Amino acid sequence: MSDELRHGYWRSLAELAGAAGLREDAMREFPLGADAPPPGMARRTFMKLLGASAALAGLGACTRAPAEKILPYGRRMPELTPGTPLHYATSMVVGGYATGLLVESHEGRPTKVEGNPEHPASLGAAGVYEQASVLQLYDPYRARSARDGQTPLRWTDFARALHTMPGAEPGGTGVGLHFLMRPTSSPLTAALIGRIRERYPEARFHFHAPFDERAVAAASLALFGDVVMPQHDFTRARVVLALDSDFMGSGPFSLRYARDFASRRHSAIASTSGADAGQEMSRLYAVEGMWSPTGTLADHRLRVRAGAVASVAAAVLREVLRLRAGALQAGAVDAGAAVAGADAALVRDALAATAADAPAPRPWIEALARDLANASGSGIVIAGADQAPAVHALTFALNEVLGNVGSTVWYGTAPIFELGTESHDLGALVDAMRAGAVQTLVVASGNPVYDAPVDLDFTGALKSVRHAAYVGMYENETAAACRWFAPESHYLESWGDACAYDGTVSLIQPLIAPLYDTRTVDELLAVFAGTDGTGGNSAHGLLRESWRDRSGGTFEERQWEEMVGRGVAPDTRSARLSPRLRWPAFPPLIRATTRQTGHIELVFERDPRVYDGSFANNAWLQELPDPVTKVTWDNAAVLSPATAAKLNIESGDVIELSLDGREQRAPAFVLPGHADEAITIRLGYGREGAEEVARGIGSNAYRLRTRAAPYVGGPVEVARVLEGGRPLRHELATTQMHWRLQGRDIIRQATIDEYRRDPELTSAQNTRQPSLYDRYDYSKGDQWAMTIDLSKCIGCGACTVACQAENNIPVVGRDGVLKSREMHWLRIDRYFTGGEEDPAAVMQPMLCQHCEKAPCEYVCPVNATVHSEDGLNEMVYNRCVGTRFCSNNCPYKVRRFNWFDYNREIAETVKMVKNPDVTVRERGVMEKCSFCVQRIRRAQIEAQLEGRAVRDGEVVTACQQACPTQAIVFGSYTDPASSIVRSLSEKRAFTVLHELGTEPRVRYLARITNPNPELEERA
Amino acid sequence: MSIFSKRRRSSLLAEFASPEELARALEALRTAGYGELETYTPFDMPRTTPALGLRRPLLPWLVALAGLAGGITTYWIQWFANSWSYPLNVGGRPLHPVPAFIPATFEGTVLTAALVAFFGLFVSLRLPALWHPVFEIDGFERATVDRFWIEVGGVQSELDARQMRHIANEAGALRIVPLAMEDR
Amino acid sequence: MAEPARAMGAHDHTVLEPYPVSRDARDDAALTDHLLSPIWTRSRAWWILFTVAGLLTLLFVFSATWTIAKGIGTWGNNIPVAWAFAITDFVWWIGIGHAGTFISAFLILLAQRWRASVNRLAEAMTLFALVNAGLFPLLHLGRPWFFYWLIPYPSTTRVWPNFRSALPWDVAAVATYFTVSLLFWYTGLVPDLATARDRAPGRIRRMIYGIFALGWRGAGRQWRQYRVVYIILAGLATPLVISVHSVVSLDFSIAQLPGWHSTIFPPYFVAGAIYSGLAMVLMLMLPVRRIFHLEDVITEQHLDRIAKLILATGLMLAYSYMCEAFIAWYSGDHFERYTYLFARPRGPYAWLYWVMTAANIVTPQLFWFARLRTNVVVLFLASVVIWAGMWMERFVIIVTSLNRDFLPSSWHLYAPSWVDWGLLVGSLGVFLLLFLAFLRWVPFVPVSEVKRLHFELRREEGPLSAGHEPPEERAVTRPRRVEEER
């Protein structure tokens, strides 16, 4: 082994030293990559070698705690008991905002990410990116060493090299020294930037991310004279209008919003079954072009392409104002809420102009407006960050007019550093580069070469910069274009801080010492901040320093420990502001909306799986099906059936999109319910860097994305690509081929009124079936059961990834998915109901139903799957011989088979992500959801030691823990007080395929919607 | 010298060209009171069997018993495995599912019966025995092709022998061959 | 002596039977040599065929090795279609096996004389088909090296097979079937091996056949015991013909999958099995008959009878098909209806379904016509079509039920990989290899039985053939011969 190690080690070094081309070739030898089954033998061996080198570099870290004192979650410091995992609070930053996490660590090895219940953005839930981030830590394709050209450097040498660069010399003024960073909300980073500016007055900072909030900032700057961020309280919202906003599925506070929205909805539904039909159920209107998780849950979804959202919003505001005016004459409401006299005319005209071609049926707008007006003060209008300033302006106005501001909506200072200022305009930097004003460019993380607006030609401009240094986690496109490169630490290796969307300062503490010679961005900045020239001082030191400064010296060790231990800095939430809306600024802002009609527009969206491309190398995320299209390992040009028919395109046809004279090919995907006259394409694919998993997957839509039209472009020309006269095809690996229910009673739904009228609507599907056999006694001890609330599930997929991480589920790669061999224990089935053009969508998480009369069990010839006393359908891996009869006889098809030896050939580093509590399965055996039996047994053992029964909520399955909307409830039904009993006894509970008499332990709660009676016939 | 002695018994074999002749000779010898008769024929001639004066075979009963035993054992194995030794809750099915045990039980019955029948056959015939005195008679190999032989055992005296020869020749024997063999 | 004569069933067939069961005029010696000649003579054609079969067998071995080395992933199977080609092949081969036992065991109990000349060939086919059938379930396991966990061997883990599952039944059924068929076949073979021994040119062959003949001498005592046991074995093998494919069908019908969960399966499968088997018997018999000039012992009567059986079993199959569809409709069950009335006739595999229906239901209808029943070419082509059609039937049953079951979300198509094809085609090679070896080294027409048949026929031709006077007692006059003395 050690031989092999040394070999691998030298080999990887040799590559670092070798020519770029050579390295590329070697890299291309890689298999599908981290955690994916390798196709060929040569690749496997190479994989081993590199994995081994990784092991030499980093495996030691298994038992290597960070040098500094890191603090476990909870009051006291428990000693580490081998076998008992510890949880540490930390935070992950996505799009500049922090989400608080608790990370499970086994003997100093982080394996699983959960949400931090005390963190406002999480409340205990963790999204897809957070769940999958732990795999990125162990990604064998992470950059391991700094370099100058092709010469490997130590990080310290790299830091020294930085100081020799023009503008960065110690004592210099910083002329020609430019920094390009991702937008940040970190107080520490801000402090460091401040110091650097003191030291180098001429140094310039620029912030760029492919997805930012500049539109919101612009609108709020114009209307409020200040950059403020709208904050929302969905627990008190009766009517919600989402203007192209996926507030539950993506965005900095989506986990929190999803939780709040769902909890209110649920309490309303639950209360109906009880005596009081009291609490009013919230109603959600969604206006969007492409399906978003939020849209799937909407009571009314208006299918409108992104470019036309502004006009719809205008139409709504116009209608609301009309109602208001009426109310005004009646003197019903205070004038303050409505538009002040003088501006009224201007506003009306502007609205008239904008709303002119609102592609929405008039009754729909009126009904919505009435609904919003009636819910005055308890409604929310929320706009997607990617929408134009006009839409945000309209949103601000709507909330203002509706009197929501102050109750359900308020404003807070923007946590993002210098948001809305010139420094957030990449164009300025590029101009400077062109002008030769940039001698030294330090790119701190991000990937501008890949994701900068194409018309800026950042790459071209970069050539004119003599000293370009890049610090990032991967040798990606940007790294390839920079002479100097240094690897960045993963957040689980980092000290730092960042703000949540509401301003709460969240601490980032490392779970493990850096696997390789890496540093954080803050440590990079510290090099220039010049506390000492070598960047020797750690982020840990810097962080404590900055906190001491902030607290004015009165900062004690105890406070620090408290704070780091909890992961949240107490009372740092930004104050509630209610800035006055300046109506005169309003008309020009909404007039500015460019309205295009009569052609096809191209909409650029962040990808729900790889975000902007920065998570593209994560095999878990690549294999996670898109919430609605269910496409894996690819992005596609999504369009509606009507548009597809008009263009004579079918799913899987490769089409060429030309926008402003630039072409890009992408496979088409026809999606019912997508807006007509529009094509949506996700960004973040078609990578060309050294991220071997991501390399060459999908189509790079950044090549069409311009500075002027970052989100909605058009007109776009669409042409099928022909090859030899035949249309060129690209098979998309989707996990679900059929989306009709075929008239099968798999999903129950009803409107709230129907449910109130007939609460028994599912009674036929939750009773026990007659049987010839007498039932086993399932009344004693723990009896595990689960409910899944279809009224809450938004299909985000967090549960799927959480399950994958918790249960060591392998990745099968694109080929595997194409062959329908995905291994996910928990999948989310997506069905459409209604017409193909404008259907409703419903999500149904499907996992092992743990049937009491399990069809899989009695057909197993070797007793490899049997029933436990506490009602689990147990899978005995080491008894299984792999006849696959069980899968054939499982009506839910939730059993998975190890077609190959998925776990043998994975890199050493990736082995570190495996959960030691869960068997890693061999080739040729079946596997399936176990209700996280490892967690159940751990809890039972603890309970037994303490001589008590397992408490309600003590066992939390991975999926349940991750679910933002808490759609999943789990527990033992023998405890009458438990939440599972409450949930099971809800009238709308039903079992899928009840007629088969399988007696599942998983029950679904019928989906209850709350359509507007005025529009019901449309719903 | 005489072929007759105390320790050794001799028999005479007669070769015939057709089954009919064999049948006739056999009848004649039987009526003449020769007890120890045996035939060697290329194919089965059930009608000649009674003349050999054999007891009814035991084997069928043996086979029946074996089958019964096999069946019971198979059922017991299944009951022991699934209902007694390691009872498991399998899909909520009963611990002693009688119908499920029937197919294997049936197969077990047939298998044991068949094995006993097969081996019983060769054991009862004392086969395999690659050598037998009759093989020493040259020309006897045609007994499996187109020649039909009668063996008359226990010929004690010249008189017997002469009479036997006479009957055989009457029936059209091609030749008559004396054979001395170890007392069985 | 009259009773035994009747018991022999030696009554007149000419009224019902247009064709003689044999028209061979040779005397016993000549007949013996004629029937044994194939195992003494070499032919180039045989070697060529043998090489081809060998190559195909290598293909099988390679595909099997590949599967075991890399995993089931090398096949086209997926979730939901976790069973496909391999199980199809298994059921198909087992089905083919049935005809052999049917002909040799069933017909002896029914005292059908025409079985005499063809039973051994048919039985050999059974054995070799079973060899293939046995291989597929093994290869099909995710971890084949643990196949023995399906057997209740005494184990310290005390974890036993689950006899509620149909698969252990399968193991028992197939194992029993193979063993019994082998014993039955060998028992029948012993007298002919003795003949071969006594006819063998050269010492080595005489020794080899001698060893296998176990010292058989055709003694009356031996024949009597032999007769008893042979009938017993036939009696035991006959219910196996019914039981084995019934058990195999239970592999499907104990599942609750629409398209599998059906009570008609056992009889339906048995009929189909014999049907396909008879087709293959013809496919093998017709060339053999021609090449080795056996038209005299394997006459039109044989062809005619087999053709009639094919027609009969074919009609049973047709009934089963219709019954299935009707019950699906009549049950009113949504899933049943979808599978039988939509997924199969109109689904993605519809073309296969219709080809199968045509092949299995239309083809046998030819045999309503007497002339076609004895037309060698028609018989051969028809049996090839049926033989292939029955493979498709199993594929349709297995795959079209799995690929669209209860939840539309999990529906997915199945496409075989080259390994799947390799195993299927390779298994044909394995079969051919064994069968050619059999033709080359084993007397494949039962010599003694045919001779006996001729003896009976000769008797019947005699004037007093009514049976009240056993022909043995007819006077035979011969010149007396001088007895020889030593």
Does A876 fall in a domain? yes
Give yes or no: residues A397 and A428 share one domain: no
Q: Which residue has the tokens 């274009």?
A: A481
Which residues in chain A have their CB less than 8 angstroms from residue C411's CB?
737-738
Q: What phi and psi, each to the nearest 5 degrees, are found at residue C248?
A: -55, -40
In this model, does residue A562 exceed pLDDT 70? yes
Partner B contacted by C172 (CB < 8 A): yes
Task: Kindly identify which residue of chain B lies nearest to residue A861, measuring between CA atoms.
Answer: B90
For chain A, what is the mean pLDDT? 86
Instruction: List the single residue in B42, B91, B120 with the smallest CB-CB distance to C28.
Output: B42
Residue B134, helix vs strand vs coil:
helix
How far does the CA of residue A912 sit from the closest CA of chain C (Å)? 25
How far does the CA of residue C80 sit from the closest CA of chain B (Å)? 20
Asked if C411 contacts A738 with a C-beta cutoff of 8 angstroms, the reply is yes
Which residues of A, range 347-366, sit inside 8 Å of C by Cβ? none
Which residues in chain A have their CB less than 8 angstroms from residue B91's CB?
851, 853-858, 867
In percent, the amount of chain A with pLDDT more than 70 equals 87
Instruction: List the single residue in B23, B97, B103 with the smallest CB-CB distance to C472.
Output: B23
Task: Kindly identify which residue of chain A lies nearest to residue B82, measuring between CA atoms.
Answer: A863
In this model, does residue A511 exceed pLDDT 60? yes
Does A484 fall in a domain? yes
Does A202 fall in a domain? yes
Partner B contacted by C394 (CB < 8 A): no
Which residues in chain C have their CB less than 8 angstroms from residue B122's CB?
214
Question: What pLDDT was estimated at residue A655?
Answer: 94
Residue C21, helix vs strand vs coil:
coil
H/E segment holding residue C392: helix C376-395
Instruction: List the single residue in A853, A863, A868 with the smallest CB-CB distance to B92.
Output: A853
Partner C contacted by B91 (CB < 8 A): yes
Residues 6+ apart with CB under 8 A from A61: A108, A109, A512, A513, A514, A515
Which residues in chain B have their CB less than 8 angstroms from residue A863's CB?
86, 88, 90
Residues 6+ apart with CB under 8 A from A843: A296, A627, A790, A793, A794, A795, A828, A829, A830
Interface test with C, best of A824, A846, A884, A896 (most C CBs within 10 A): A884
Which of A385, A413, A441 is a domain's end point? A413
Question: What pLDDT was estimated at residue A934?
Answer: 94
Which residues in chain C have their CB less than 8 angstroms from residue B117's CB?
183, 229, 232-233, 236
Interface test with B, best of C483, C484, C486 (most B CBs within 10 A): C483
CA B168 – CA C484 distance, rounded (Å): 13
Give yes or no: residues A808 and A883 share one domain: yes
Q: What residue spans define the domains of chain B?
A: 7-42+146-183, 59-124
- Give one word for B56, left, alpha or beta, with left for phi > 0 and alpha for psi -120 to 50: beta
User: Residue A81's pLDDT band (boundaries 50, 70, 90)?
Assistant: low
Both tokens assigned to A640: 């509606």
Could you give the maximum distance between any two Cα atoms of chain C, in Å?
94
Q: Among 3.40.50.300, 3.40.50.150, 1.20.1630.10, 1.10.3720.10, name the CATH number for the domain at C20-485.
A: 1.20.1630.10
Instruction: List the single residue in A771, A775, A857 with the smallest CB-CB distance to B90.
Output: A857
Which residues in chain B have their CB less than 8 angstroms from residue A851's CB?
91
Residue A658, helix vs strand vs coil:
strand
> CA nearest A119: which of A663, A608, A500?
A500
User: Residue A25's pLDDT band (boundaries 50, 70, 90)?
Assistant: very low
Which residues in chain A have their CB less than 8 angstroms from residue C140's CB?
883
CB contact under 8 A, C187 and B129: no
Interface test with B, best of C170, C176, C250, C454 (most B CBs within 10 A): C176
Instruction: List the single residue in A885, A896, A926 with the smallest CB-CB distance to C165.
Output: A885
- Quick: pLDDT tens for A218-246: 999 999 999 999 999 999 999 999 999 99
Which of A555, A586, A611 is a domain's end point? A555
CA C421 – CA C413 distance, rounded (Å): 17
Q: How many other C-beta atoms can be found within 10 angstroms of the C-beta atom of residue A275?
A: 7
CB contact under 8 A, C408 and A924: no
In this model, does residue A20 exceed pLDDT 60? no
Interface test with C, best of A744, A820, A879 (most C CBs within 10 A): A820
Residues of chain A with a CB closer than 8 angstroms to some CB in chain B: 771, 773-776, 851-858, 860, 863, 866-869, 999
- Quick: pLDDT tens for C431-481: 999 999 999 999 999 999 999 999 988 887 754 334 344 444 333 333 333
Q: DSSP assignment, residue C359?
A: I
User: Residue B178's pLDDT band (boundaries 50, 70, 90)?
Assistant: confident
Which of A397, A413, A429 is a domain's end point? A413
Residues 6+ apart with CB under 8 A from A594: none
Question: What pLDDT was estimated at residue C435?
Answer: 96
Give yes or no: residues A174 and A285 share one domain: no
Chains in contact with A, where contact means 3 or more Cβ–Cβ distances below 8 Å, are B, C
CATH architecture of B7-42+146-183: 2-Layer Sandwich (3.30)
Partner C contacted by B64 (CB < 8 A): no
Asked if A623 contacts A37 with a C-beta cutoff of 8 angstroms, the reply is no
Which residues in chain C have their CB less than 8 angstroms from residue B123's CB?
none
Q: Is A687 or C25 the better-scoring residue by pLDDT?
A: A687
- Quick: pLDDT tens for A799-839: 999 999 999 999 999 999 999 999 999 999 999 998 888 89
- Quick: pLDDT tens for C332-364: 999 999 999 999 999 999 999 999 999 999 999
Give yes or no: residues A607 and A643 share one domain: yes
Interface test with A, best of B83, B86, B90, B101 (most A CBs within 10 A): B90
For β-strands A409-413 and A379-383, DSSP reports them as unpaired
In this model, does residue A78 exceed pLDDT 60? no
Which residues in chain C have their CB less than 8 angstroms from residue B148's CB?
none
Instruction: List the single residue in A774, A858, A868 with the smallest CB-CB distance to B91.
Output: A858
Partner C contacted by A940 (CB < 8 A): no
Which residues in chain B have their CB less than 8 angstroms from residue C29's CB?
142, 145-146
Torsion of CA B40, B45, B47, B50, to 10 degrees: 40
User: Once rounded to an integer, what is the mean pLDDT over residues B138-155?
Assistant: 88
H/E segment holding residue A189: helix A187-199
Partner C contacted by B71 (CB < 8 A): no
For chain C, what is the mean pLDDT? 88
3-state secondary structure C29-89: HHHHHHHHHHHHCCCHHHHHHHHHHHHHHHHHHHHHHHHHHHCHHHCCCCCCCCCCHHHHH
Residues 6+ apart with CB under 8 A from A303: A288, A289, A640, A673, A674, A675, A676, A838
Instruction: List the single residue in A775, A863, A868 with the smallest CB-CB distance to B92.
Output: A775
> CA nearest A130: which of A115, A117, A140?
A115
Tally B–C CB contacts below 8 A. 241
Which domain covers residue A262, as residue numbers?
214-413
Question: What pLDDT was estimated at residue A342?
Answer: 59
- Quick: pLDDT tens for A84-134: 788 899 999 999 999 999 999 988 889 999 999 999 999 999 999 999 999
Which residues in chain B have their CB less than 8 angstroms from residue C221's CB?
38, 52, 54, 125
Give yes or no: residues A847 and A913 share one domain: yes
H/E segment holding residue A968: strand A968-972
As for how many domains chain A has, the answer is 5
Interface test with A, best of C165, C257, C399 (most A CBs within 10 A): C165
CA A704 – CA A454 distance, rounded (Å): 7
Question: What pLDDT was estimated at residue A826?
Answer: 96
Partner C contacted by A923 (CB < 8 A): yes
Burial class (CB in 10 A: 0-12, 13-18, 19+), C389: buried
Q: How many other C-beta atoms can be found within 10 angstroms of the C-beta atom of residue A873?
A: 27
CB contact under 8 A, A854 and B91: yes
Asked if B16 contacts B153 with a C-beta cutoff of 8 angstroms, the reply is no
User: Residue A935's pLDDT band (boundaries 50, 70, 90)?
Assistant: very high
In this model, does residue B37 exceed pLDDT 80? yes
CB contact under 8 A, B106 and C455: no
What is the ipTM score, two decimals?
0.90
Q: How many other C-beta atoms can be found within 10 angstroms of the C-beta atom of residue A532?
A: 11
In this model, does residue C10 exceed pLDDT 80? no
Q: What residue spans define the domains of chain C?
A: 20-485
Q: Which residue has the tokens 């009969």?
A: C312
CB contact under 8 A, B91 and A855: yes
Tally A–C CB contacts below 8 A. 161
Both tokens assigned to C88: 């199809």
